[in-house]
Amino acid sequence: MGLMTLADLKSLASTLDFAREVTVDVEYSEAKQWLAGGAGRKAIGYFPIYTPVELIHATGMLPLGIVGGGNQIEIAHADSRFQSFVCSIVKSTLELGLTDRLKFLSGMVFHSICDPARNLSSVFERNFPGMHIEYIHFPQNFASKSSTVYLESEYRRILDGLEKVAGRKALADDLNRSISLYNRIRATLRSLDKIRVASPQLLSATESWLLTRLGMLIAPEDYIQVLERALAEVPTRSARLKDRIRVIVEGSFCEQPPIGLIECLEEAGCYILDDDFLRGWRWFTSDVPIEGNPLHALAESYADRSVSNGVKHDLREPKAAHMVRNFRETKADAVIFMAAKFCEPALFDYALYRRAFEEQKIPHLFLEFEEKAWIYDRARSEVETFVESLLFD
Amino acid sequence: MANDQLIMPEPSKGSSPQKVPVAPQKEQKKTEYQGKMHLLQKEMIGRYYDQLTACAEGRGGKAVYMMISGNPVELIQAFDMIPVYPEVNALQLAVKKQSLPFILQAEEMGYSIDNCAYVKADIGMYFGGRKTPFATIPKPDLILCNYVGCNVYLQWFEHLQEYSGAETYNLDIPFCRTESGEPTPEDIAYVVKQLEEVIVVCEKMTGMKFDYKKLQRIVGLSAETGELWSEIKKLTRRRPAPFDAYFDSVTMMAPLYCLRGTEDGLRFFEEAYKEMKEKADRQEGPLPEEKFRFVIEGPPPWPHLRTFRDMFSRWGAVAVASTYSTVGGLWEFGFKHDPQRPLESIAMHMLRWNLTNRSMLQRYQQIKSYVEDWNADALVIHSVKSCRLFSAGQGDMREYFTKDLGIPTLLIESDLEDPRYFAEAQLRNRVDAFFESLEHKRLLAKH
């Protein structure tokens, strides 16, 4: 780990450098440092897409976003457990476990996002009996009021389990304190997102990704300070608006593209105004209310205060409707649908998106990626060709 | 007719015609015992499909699309609506070797080669006129997505909703995720509440008032059907097993899905049980000699069913239990629908007593019970590319069975619907090598 500490992060530049280091550290040194900083501290890992991190935080434990091994580890053990037609993030996350890199965690939380991720939670349970493994079944019936009642009870069940691990209860006040803190974080991220749409030359998608991912790897009390300083500095940057097309990127809500690929897309001529990278961390469209029953507030917000995402099969509107809205509101030029290889939900969504692209006459490009890639030549040339076709049409 | 033309005798005709080769002895035997049950199934499923065609041609009935695993078909039957199963339609297409053109059509529309081929075949068929060799499939009046574990179910029906504009209800069934494996009281309450909402939807759609007593009668039929299915399955504990619990179970599964909750369905299973019990009492099996007993996990390669079956039967290997035959429901471990608590027991069937809503670790235990209680020599894991619910992580399953339990396990790969993913020679070699080694171990153990 570098010489930098959180105390040194006084500028956006140093924050981004720090984020670059932390986000490729598959030994999770920052988290381990936090654990060593106090007696009895524990950390709970969580897999994509959305996790109610407040439940973990309110019991005094550190929520840590485990999003696979990226292009930092070789898969040498996990590929005998999961087949070739399964996405990389499932295998690399298991590899992190099988190589003892997750031993410092007291537990992991998985969710009902897709079949491979769900099976992964079973494989974790069997192979790491010392870890507290949780699986959250998120509701899929948005038309029924009973789904919020159900989710509140599900959060209660999860919290009961976390309290046992932590050795302490999380009362309503504890939960509301956590919700307030994470509301502040999310509001700051939303402000940064607004800047990107209005003035994309001030904050790149790469930088936004780094700032977001950082928040999943350090204590939120430290993160909010770093993030608010960044928000103060971004509008003061001077940057010339380049001759690029304005795009929305969707489809990468779980397995993440390597940071180099995001940079490559931008360098190939795109301003990425909005994306669904690390979508779970930017789940809410407004603050979760502070009320007497925080579990209810979180459960209700899941359905009614959240962004559209493919794994929420919300039948109240067509799948691609939010994307079309976003495209028009941001005055984008095109949409890039970028899915991880073998990502079942994204690949299904694409069939419906494609219809919408054609019906709405939205210029679009389909790309596939793998988290473990190092070379992006093909993607670069596809995007460059696409950009040219739009700029010089 | 030219003398050099070979004409194979048709199975339904009794004696072999002159001047042609006689079919091998074991083929004739198989044909004979499949006779009554097989014919009854053909007749009943034929009638079911005629109902679908009639509906498609506007001659009445409301079509309700559902998934076969853990569903509330009893409720649909109570409103005289017609259950339509896209999964069954897809597998029928594959069996009749007609799935590929539809899969290709879906891929043209933007579906990936990595998407579940059941869905692609169905979507391709939907846009391809919905005419199949067995029926014209009606467009849905109601899409009732019973979300029991399989996330693809949600995608599939969401797509059909956008294409058809039909009323859709996502029946959300919480997954088996607690430490005990049991649903919570809140889970059950949530499902029952949703079933009550489905009743309102059906009342509006049919103009019929909900008849609670009728539902109770239908749930009673399901209970008896499930009980018989459970007894039939237990027959394969005997040596020799009277039927193959994978390849012959497919004959019995269609009525279980399409006719559960009906008098016809019950009658079929009464006949099937009678026949299988008689076979068992006569100590007759599907093969001349039962040399190996295996448990098989995973859906079959529908487009290559016969070829796949032959790979095992040439070794005298008979499947005594299969996980795929429990997709529609698990009755052999004590569950029974309860007509006194119709909605709660339908909820329990969907929450706990079907394969897809149960965790992988619960499936490991299910297979372990089969190996132990059905006296199997080995486990065969048939991994299918399309179905990640079944397949993702089967390498870990193999680890558990070989390393933790010491049970000989074979892991092979193909697909359930797409005929392109079947490497016949390679598969045959793997199966041969496996049973050869089992045979060898047996010989060594004798000496």
Q: Which of these ranges, B3-12, B86-95, B393-402, has the smallest mean pLDDT? A: B3-12
Choose among A141, A315, A347: nearest Cβ to B161: A315
User: B200 in contact with A at a CB cutoff of 8 Å?
Assistant: no
CB contact under 8 A, A150 and B147: no
Cβ–Cβ contacts within 10 Å for residue B118, how many? Answer: 29
> Hey, are the CB atoms on B391 and A354 less than 8 Å from each other?
no
Inter-chain CB proximity B119 and A345 less than 8 Å: no
**What is the arithmetic mean of pLDDT over B231-251?**
94
Residue type, A128: F
Token digits for A1? Answer: 């780990």
Task: Give contacts of B360 with chain A, Cβ < 8 Å.
Answer: 119, 122-123
Q: Are A94 and A116 in contact (CB under 8 A)?
A: no
* Cα B59 to chain centroid, rounded: 29
Under a CB-based contact definition with an 8 Å cutoff, are residues B242 and B279 in contact?
Answer: yes
β-strands B82-84, B63-65: how paired? parallel
CB burial of A44-75 (b: ≥16 within 10 Å; e: otherwise) equals bbbbbbbbbbbbbbbbbbbbbbbbbbbbbbeb
Per-residue pLDDT at B8? 35
B45-98 pLDDT tens trace: 999 999 999 999 999 999 999 999 999 999 999 999 999 999 999 999 999 999
3-state secondary structure of B296: strand
**8 Å CB contact of A90 and B392:** yes
Compute the nearest-CA separation of B49 from chain A (Å).
Answer: 29
Tell me which residue in A122, A147, A351 faces B172 most closely, judged by beta carbons. Answer: A147
> Does B171 contact A at CB distance below 8 Å?
yes
Q: Report the relative pairing of strands A364-369 and A334-340 from DSSP bridges.
A: parallel
CA distance A281 to A254: 11
Q: What angle do CA B350, A85, A248 make, to 5 degrees?
A: 90
pLDDT value of position B289: 96
Which residues are B84's β-sheet partners? B65
Predicted TM-score of the model (pTM) = 0.94
Percentage with pLDDT > 70 across chain A: 99
DSSP H helical ranges for A291-343:
294-304, 321-329
CB nearest to B158's CB, from A135, A157, A313: A313
pLDDT of B33 above 80: no
Residues A342, A346, A349: CA angle, nearest 5 degrees = 135
Lowest mean pLDDT among A214-223, B4-13, B145-154, B234-243: B4-13
- Nearest-CA distance B262 → chain A (Å): 29
Chain A closest-CA separation from residue B366 CA (Å) = 14
Closest in B109, B190, B395 to A351, CB measured: B109
Scanning B405-424 for CB atoms below 8 A from A yields: 413
> Among B113, B396, B412, which would you mutate to test the A interface (most chain A Cβ atoms within 10 Å of its Cβ)?
B396
Does residue B444 have a pLDDT over 90? Answer: yes
Domain count, chain B: 1
Q: Which residues of A touch B65 (CB under 8 A)?
A: none
**B11 found inside a domain:** no
Query: Which positions in chain B touch A149 (Cβ < 8 Å)?
Result: 186, 190
What gap in Å lies between CA A97 and CA A91, rounded to an integer?
A: 10
A137 Cα to chain B: minimum distance (Å): 6
Closest listed residue to residue A281, CA positions, set A176, A233, A211? A211
Does residue B10 form part of some domain?
Answer: no
Of the candidates B158, B361, B388, the beta carbon closest to that of A126 is on: B361
Of B163, B194, B238, the C-alpha closest to A359 is: B163
**Which of A122, A144, A150 has the CB atom closest to B360's CB atom?**
A122
DSSP element (H, E) containing A108: strand A107-111
Nearest by CB to residue A82, choosing from B154, B159, B392, is B392
pLDDT at res. A223: 96
Residue A132's φ and ψ, nearest 5 degrees, are -85, 110
A138–chain B Cβ distance below 8 A for any pair:
no
CA distance A385 to A336: 13
Q: What is the pLDDT of residue A181?
A: 98
Interval B92-112 mean pLDDT? 96
Is the Cβ of A123 closer than 8 Å to some Cβ of chain B? yes
Round to whole Å and give the CA distance between B83 and B66: 7
A318 near A226, Cβ under 8 Å?
A: no
In a domain, B167, yes or no: yes
Chain A nearest-CA residue for B150: A115
Task: Tell me what the mean pLDDT of segment B256-265 comes to.
Answer: 94
> pLDDT tens digit string along B142-176?
999 999 999 999 999 999 999 999 999 999 999 99
CB spacing of B190 vs A345 below 8 angstroms: no
Q: Which residue pairs, CB below 8 angstroms and at least 24 apart, start in B368-375?
A: B368/B401, B368/B405, B369/B333, B370/B295, B370/B320, B370/B321, B371/B295, B371/B405, B371/B407, B373/B237, B374/B236, B374/B237, B374/B293, B374/B295, B374/B320, B374/B321, B375/B237, B375/B239, B375/B293, B375/B320
Residue B344 lies in a domain: yes
**What is the pLDDT, as a whole number, of residue A90?**
98
Tens of pLDDT along A342-357? 999 999 999 999 999 9
Which tokens go with B18?
């002159």
Residue B123 counted as domain residue: yes
Q: Any chain A CB within 8 A of the CB of B115?
A: yes
Angle made by CA atoms B46, B49, B54, in degrees to the nearest 5: 125
Inter-CA distances, A272 with A265, A330, A331, A360, B348, Å: 8, 11, 12, 20, 47
What 3-state DSSP class applies to B334? coil
Tell me the pLDDT band of A250, cut-offs 50, 70 and 90: very high
Q: Torsion angle, CA of B226/B228/B231/B235, rounded to 10 degrees?
A: -120
Which residue in chain A is spatially nearest to B192 when comparing CA positions?
Answer: A146
**Biggest CA-to-CA distance, chain A:** 63
Contact B175 A112 (CB under 8 A): yes
**CB-CB neighbours of A130 under 10 Å:** 8
A133 has pLDDT over 90 = yes
DSSP B351: H
CB B52 within 8 A of CB B130: no
CA angle A200, A204, A207 (to 5 degrees): 150
Would the CB atoms of A348 and B119 count as touching at under 8 Å? yes
pLDDT of residue B34: 55
What's the CA gap between A184 and A163, in Å, rounded?
Answer: 24
Can you list the positions of beta strands (E) in B298-408?
317-322, 378-384
pLDDT at B1 over 80: no
pLDDT (tens digit per residue) in B266-290 = 999 999 999 999 999 999 999 999 9
Is A374 in a helix, a strand, or coil?
coil
Establish if B16 belongs to a structural domain. no
The tally of CA atoms less than 13 A away on the side-chain side of residue A306 is 25
Sign of the alpha-carbon torsion through A42, A48, A52, A54:
positive
* Confidence bin at B302 (pLDDT 50/70/90): very high
B9: confidence class by pLDDT, cuts 50, 70, 90 = very low
Cross-chain residue pair B172–A141, CB shorter than 8 Å: yes
Confidence class for position B30, pLDDT limits 50, 70, 90: very low
Task: Provide the shortest C-alpha distance from residue B357 to chain A (in Å).
Answer: 11
**Element spanning B360, H or E:** helix B360-373
| Domain range for B251 | 25-446
CA B42 to chain centroid, in Å, comes to 16
A-B Cβ pairs (cutoff 8 Å, strict)? 161
Report how far residue B117's alpha carbon sits from residue B90's, in angstroms, rounded to the nearest whole number: 9
d(CA A332, CA B10): 65
3-state secondary structure at position A85: coil
**Chain B nearest CA to A353, separation (Å):** 9
Q: Which of A79, A82, A119 to mutate to test the interface with B (most CBs of B within 10 A)?
A: A119
Contact A344 B114 (CB under 8 A): yes
At residue B28, the pLDDT reads 40
Could you tell me the pLDDT band of residue A4, with boundaries at 50, 70 and 90?
A: low
The residue type of A19 is A
Listed in sequence order, the residues at least 6 apart from B443 whose beta carbon sits closer than 8 Å to its beta carbon are none
A154, A313, A369: best to mutate for the B interface, most B CBs within 10 A: A313
| pLDDT higher than threshold 50 for residue B99 | yes
Residue B186 lies in a domain: yes
- Separation in Å, CA of B411 to nearest CA in chain A: 11
**Which helix or strand (DSSP H or E) is residue A245 part of?**
strand A245-250
Interface of A with B in 342-361 (CB under 8 A): 342, 344-345, 347-352, 354-355
Question: What pLDDT does residue A42 have?
Answer: 98
Residue A8 C-alpha, separation from nearest chain B C-alpha, in angstroms? 44
Q: Which residues contact A19 (CB under 8 A, 6 or more apart)?
A: A210, A211, A213, A214
pLDDT digits (tens, 9 = 90+) for B322-347: 999 999 999 999 999 999 999 999 99
Report CB contact under 8 Å: B175, A81: no
3-state secondary structure of B329: coil
SS3 A251: coil
Distance of CA B122 to the CA centre of its chain: 17
Which of B65, B107, B123, B172 to substitute to test the interface with A, most A CBs within 10 Å?
Answer: B172
Min Cα–Cα distance to chain A from B86, Å: 17
Task: State phi, psi for A199 to the nearest 5 degrees.
Answer: -140, 75
CB within 8 Å: B396 and A81: yes
Position B434 scores a pLDDT of 98
Residue-level pLDDT at B224: 97
Instruction: Assess B110–A contact: CB distance below 8 Å, yes or no.
Output: yes
| ipTM exceeds 0.90, yes or no | yes
Residue in chain A closest to B175 (alpha carbons) equals: A137
* Strand, helix or coil for residue A290: coil
User: Which chain A residue has the Cα nearest residue B415?
Assistant: A85
Which residue among B109, B150, B186 sits closest to A153, beta carbon to beta carbon? Answer: B186
DSSP secondary structure, B184-249, as one string: PHHHHHHHHHHHHHHHHHHHHHH-PPP-HHHHHHHHHHHHHHHHHHHHHHHGGGSSS-SS-TTTTH
Asked if pLDDT for residue A96 goes beyond 70, the answer is yes
DSSP assignment, residue A41? -
* A40 has a pLDDT exceeding 60: yes
CB pair distance less than 8 Å for B150 and A140? no
Would the CA dihedral through A307, A312, A317, A321 be positive or negative?
A: positive
> Which residues of chain A have a CB within 8 Å of the CB of B174?
137, 150, 154
Residue B73 within any structural domain of the chain: yes
Give me the residue from A83, A122, A313 closest to B154, CB to CB: A313
Q: Secondary structure of chain B: what % helix, strand, coil (to 5)?
A: 55, 10, 35
Rounded CA-CA distance A220/A181 in Å is 8
Q: Cis bond leading into B240, ω under 30°? A: yes
Residue B29, pLDDT score: 42
